[in-house]
Amino acid sequence: MQNITIAIHGGAGTITPASMTPELEKAYKQALSHALDQGYQVLEKGGSALDAVEMAVVLLEDSPLFNAGRGSVFTKEGKHEMDAAIMCGKTLEAGAVAGVRNIRNPVRLTRAIMEHSDHVFLSGYGAEEFARKYNIDFAPEEYFYDKRRYQQWREVRDTDIFMLDHTDERKFGTVGAVARDANGDLAAATSTGGMTNKNYNRIGDSPLIGSGTYANNKTCAISCTGHGEFFIRAVVAYDISCLMEYKGYTLQEACEEVVMDKLVKFGGEGGLIAVDGNGKLALPFNSEGMYRAYRRGGQEGRVSIYKD
């Protein structure tokens, strides 16, 4: 299984050993490890990169630890609105949703849109109607309730603050996965609840093809996490792909330029995971930490949180 590769993330931000308990750190590492291994097994059995990224993201959406699916943060109205996207590097087909509510696994809905719709991007009620048609699971409001997230929101709900800097901690708990399968095909998927206390109907970078999510066999597959408004304006994922396609940069060079230089100057905090056509990986971030993990063919998986 030469060059099969998968990487996942569970968000970036002010994640330091001081802000973590040993129990919480263990729980994060276990959840990341589990999603990584399940995604890897898909690739090991000869499955597609698309199936692998979908599998890994579903498992991260099911964990209340991450800001996606079950653990999605609260909007200004005290609700959960989720954004997600998936993209196939071989065909450049993509599916995306914005502002969906009560969908258990938004990434499954993006896959259904990619495969069964002539459209790429559905939002709100139309996306939910589409989900009903394709038997995508819904979950009641209580399923998305998490005490920790609720408290985070209560502290800022009467303000215009729409991130977690009220505690001096900025954490962006979006989840994502990128993979290269045994055929050399690439795929990327990202899923998020957005940012705590975000304006209702606010859409972040995660579902925007080219900003938070992108895959192209010619270059790379990318899933981002960070302050979405900056990632949208910097068109981060496509920018990296373009540097590779038009300027001949390696994945590493392109990531370095965009995440560690351009975004930093711009004020955009966060990071991303990326894999190129040869299965080479880059996991750059300009924040304190990023929940991340990767595994290559024939090797053990590696899970990290802080700067190496």
What is the contact surface with ligand ASP in residues (CB under 6 A)?
Answer: 11, 67, 172-174, 192, 194-195, 204-206, 212, 225-226, 228
Quote the least distance from Cβ 186 to ligand ASP, whole Å: 21
CA angle at 191 for the pair 187 and 195, rounded to the nearest 5°: 145
66: left (phi over 0), alpha (psi -120 to 50) or beta: beta
Please say whether the beta carbons of 11 and 172 come within 8 A.
Answer: yes
Residue 122 or 175 having the CB closest to ligand ASP = 175
Residue 40 or 172 having the CB closest to ligand ASP = 172
One of 5, 14, 110, 174 is an active-site residue; which one?
Answer: 174
Residue 238 or 249 having the CB closest to ligand ASP = 238
Quote the least distance from Cβ 191 to ligand ASP, whole Å: 10
The answer to whether residue 174 is catalytic is yes
Quote the least distance from Cβ 181 to ligand ASP, whole Å: 25
Residue 180 or 198 having the CB closest to ligand ASP = 198
Of the candidates 163, 161, 213, 168, the residue with the CA atom closest to the CA atom of residue 187: 213
Residue 195 or 220 having the CB closest to ligand ASP = 195
Quote the least distance from Cβ 118 to ligand ASP, whole Å: 26
Residue 88 or 290 having the CB closest to ligand ASP = 290
Quote the least distance from Cβ 108 to ligand ASP, whole Å: 19
Quote the least distance from Cβ 172 to ligand ASP, whole Å: 3
Annotated active-site positions, please? 174
